[in-house]
């Protein structure tokens, strides 16, 4: 497992990974810029309806909330767009690290888009639900890591495994190796928890799970 983690980390700075990273960052910044402009215009429209003495404070508060909200959205939005290129990342890892193995089959574009939307929305909702844990020091970090380790490990493993087998078989493989998947998911959750670095989460997670899937398949062979 340690070798899989280190190999995935070494692959991130390589040109194919950088290409996907810049594409996902560009799309992320474009979407957030649209959200920023639209939300600020709506906020300005609402602020002018307030009494004059409240407008300055309301402007500051709206700007602060928008800044924090967009900061929260950076990682999931980047994950959404990078998820569209997950097969591209998996192809690179398979071709460079496992050239003699049977190559995986990319998911259809619409399937990949729906999977990315469902996964991103689910992770966002779960983490919003866990926001009250911020007020419980001592247990908030372990719970955040444990929940995301399970979610991220499960989703990324099955996404990669489905390149080689049907969904039910991919899920059965994940359950048979739940310990390894959870451990891999924990390292993904740690990356996700680091601001700025968390935009690398989809690239690292996909590369890592290619190695984990290959490891589990080798262990199944007689």
Give residue 66's domain range: 2-220
Instruction: Say what the pLDDT of residue 169 is.
Output: 92
Query: pLDDT, tens digit, for every residue of 182-213?
Result: 999 999 888 887 877 877 888 888 999 999 99
pLDDT at 87 over 80: yes
* Among 61, 121, 111, residue whose Cα is nearest residue 86: 111
Number of domains in the chain: 1
Query: How far is CA 174 from each of CA 55, 148, 171, rounded to the nearest angstrom?
Result: 54, 16, 5
Residue 92 has φ and ψ, to the nearest 5°, of: -65, -45
Instruction: Say what the pLDDT of residue 127 is.
Output: 67
Alpha carbon 78 to chain centroid distance? Answer: 7
Over range 69-97, report the average pLDDT: 74
Instruction: Say what the pLDDT of residue 139 is.
Output: 80
Asked if residues 182 and 216 have their Cβ atoms less than 8 Å apart, the reply is no
Range in 41-55, 143-157, 170-184 the model is least confident about: 41-55
Query: pLDDT, tens digit, for every residue of 100-127?
Result: 998 898 877 777 777 777 777 776 777 6
Asked if residues 60 and 44 have their Cβ atoms less than 8 Å apart, the reply is no
Asked if residues 111 and 140 have their Cβ atoms less than 8 Å apart, the reply is no
Instruction: Say what the pLDDT of residue 125 is.
Output: 75
Query: pLDDT, tens digit, for every residue of 135-144?
Result: 777 787 888 8
Secondary structure (3-state) at 104 = coil
**pLDDT confidence band for 220 (50 / 70 / 90):** low
């Amino acid at each position: 497992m340690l070798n899989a983690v280190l190999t995935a980390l070494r692959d991130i700075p390589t040109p194919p990974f950088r290409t996907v990273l810049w594409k996902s960052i560009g799309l992320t910044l474009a979407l957030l810029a649209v959200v920023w402009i639209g939300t600020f215009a709506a906020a300005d429209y609402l602020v002018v309806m307030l009494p004059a003495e409240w407008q300055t404070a309301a402007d500051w508060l709206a700007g602060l909330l928008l800044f924090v909200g967009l900061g929260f959205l950076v990682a999931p939005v980047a994950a959404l767009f990078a998820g569209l290129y997950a097969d591209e990342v998996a192809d690179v890892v398979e071709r460079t690290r496992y050239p003699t193995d049977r190559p995986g089959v990319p998911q259809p574009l619409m399937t990949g888009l729906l999977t990315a939307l469902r996964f991103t929305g689910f992770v966002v909702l779960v983490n919003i639900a866990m926001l009250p844990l911020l007020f419980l020091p001592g247990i908030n970090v372990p719970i955040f890591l444990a929940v995301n380790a399970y979610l991220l490990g499960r989703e990324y493993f099955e996404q990669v495994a489905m390149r080689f087998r049907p969904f039910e078989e991919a899920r059965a493989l994940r359950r048979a190796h739940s310990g390894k998947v959870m451990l891999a998911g924990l390292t993904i959750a740690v990356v996700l928890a680091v601001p700025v670095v968390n935009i690398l989460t989809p690239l690292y997670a996909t590369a890592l799970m290619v190695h984990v899937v290959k490891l589990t398949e080798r262990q199944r062979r007689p």
